[in-house]
Amino acid sequence: MVGECSDLESLVLQIKEFKPDLVLLDWELRGRPATALLFAAHTSSFRPKTIVLSGRPESEQAALAAGADAFVSKADPPERLLSTLRELVRGSREEVAS
């Protein structure tokens, strides 16, 4: 399933409904702070892998501290996002195998 949301409230509803394996989260998405979504995901029984994207590289530590699995700056080359996706998929496969 591929979906797109314009605000965090819509994203939360889609995550609950579709239970995606992966969420690409724009750190500057409208609505509640993105940290609220990440903290809520930690208390949920369903937790998708989350990659935070931001145009502000200084947001990396806050995103990871809030529970993001990875952070990619929008200024990074596209290959950085692809390699991050591959790492998370590889990690998910290893979790299932063990």
pLDDT tens, N- to C-terminus, the chain (98 residues): 678 888 888 888 888 888 888 889 999 888 777 877 776 666 667 788 999 999 999 999 999 999 999 999 999 999 999 999 999 888 766 664 55
Domain that holds residue 16: 8-97
pLDDT of residue 54: 95
**Long-range residue pairs from 29-33, CB within 8 A, at least 24 positions apart, any chain:** 29/5, 30/6, 31/7, 32/8, 33/8
Does residue 43 sit within a domain?
yes
Does residue 91 sit within a domain?
yes
pLDDT of residue 64: 94
Does residue 1 sit within a domain?
no
pLDDT of residue 56: 93
Q: Mention every residue, 6+ apart, whose C-beta is less than 8 A from residue 50.
A: 22, 23, 25, 38, 41, 67, 68, 69, 70
Does residue 3 sit within a domain?
no
